Amino acid sequence: GAVVSQHPSRVICKSGTSVKIECRSLDFQATTMFWYRQFPKQSLMLMATSNEGSKATYEQGVEKDKFLINHASLTLSTLTVTSAHPEDSSFYICSAQKYAGQGWTEAFFGQGTRLTVV
Amino acid sequence: GENVEQHPSTLSVQEGDSAVIKCTYSDSASNYFPWYKQELGKRPQLIIDIRSNVGEKKDQRIAVTLNKTAKHFSLHITETQPEDSAVYFCAAQDTGFQKLVFGTGTRLLVSP
């Protein structure tokens, strides 16, 4: 397997402030990283695709100015929730793609960040 | 883009019974189909996957089958145990951007 570390695991912030979430691949270089959002008892909804050194590709309906993604290296991607509001409260999970040989890749997930905006 | 449907949304079985979860996908170009198990508040854990060049794969009590013609794949769990209780997600991988599109999830409850 491979290890993906996401930090923080929980964060509570005041409405109007910004929160940064880090996603690191600890023992491999990720070809691509993805950010998901998961509401209670629902599936993982892809927010954006992040590639090192280039702008993130956002899914339809995701505000790129609100959810800022920076992919500084092959092992680190960050998601910043700007001017957070209570409706941004959710479980955010990142995943990192690892090359598995023969043209295939596998996805490994971070432990997730539970964001609560009060 | 890819769309993945998953059924059933909830599944209750007795310990020792088998459980089957089914998914369909829309993009015939998708070529990788993983299954994840997610416990409450935890990250999804890959339990088995299958690629488009095979029709079936088995790992102890877990098996996955793929029918590319019909564009559906299924997860089979035999001899279920209470610790199998969790939410299971299927996914299909986009060949171009390699992003995973997830099904809506199945909440499996295994009663002792």
Q: Which residues pair with A80 in a beta bridge?
A: A20, A68
For residue A41, which amino acid is it?
K
- State phi, psi for B83 to the nearest 5 degrees: -70, -5
Joined tokens for residue A74: 């092959």
- Amino acid B53: pLDDT: 84
Picking from A32, A43, A93, A111 by the largest number of B CB atoms within 10 A of its own CB, the best residue to mutate is: A43
- Amino acid A1: pLDDT: 66
CA atoms within 13 A on the CB side of A18: 11
- Amino acid B20: pLDDT: 98
Contacts for A55 with CB less than 8 Å, ≥ 6 apart: none
List all residues of chain B from 13 to 42 with a beta carbon under 8 Å from chain A.
32, 34, 36, 41-42
Classify residue B88 by burial, with Cβ atoms within 10 Å: 0-12, 13-18, 19+.
buried
- Amino acid B98: pLDDT: 75
| Chain B neighbors of A31, CB-CB under 8 A | 98
Q: What is the largest CA-CA distance in chain B?
A: 44
The whole-angstrom separation of Cα A59 and Cα A88 is 16
- Amino acid B97: pLDDT: 62
Q: Determine the average pLDDT of the residues in A28-49.
A: 91
The whole-angstrom separation of Cα A82 and Cα A75 is 23
Contact with chain B for residue A7, Cβ under 8 A: no
Neighbours of A6 (CB within 10 A): 22
Task: Note whether A31 contacts B105, CB cutoff 8 Å.
Answer: no
- Amino acid A85: pLDDT: 96
Cα four-point dihedral sign A103, B77, B58, B44: positive
State the DSSP string of A46-103. Answer: EEEEE-TTSPPEEPTT--TTTEEEEEEETTEEEEEE-S--GGG-EEEEEEEEEEEETT
| Chain B neighbors of A107, CB-CB under 8 A | 34, 46, 93, 100
The pairing of beta strand A90-101 with beta strand A104-109:
antiparallel
> pLDDT of chain B along its 112 residues, tens only?
889 999 999 999 999 999 999 999 999 989 899 999 999 889 999 999 998 888 999 999 999 999 999 999 999 999 999 999 999 999 998 766 678 899 999 999 999 9
SS3 B35: strand
- Amino acid A103: pLDDT: 66
Contact with chain A for residue B2, Cβ under 8 A: no
Distances in whole angstroms, Cα of residue B90 to Cα of each of A71, A82, B46, B50: 27, 31, 10, 11
List all residues of chain A from 50 to 109 with a beta carbon under 8 Å from chain B.
57, 91, 93, 95, 97, 104-109
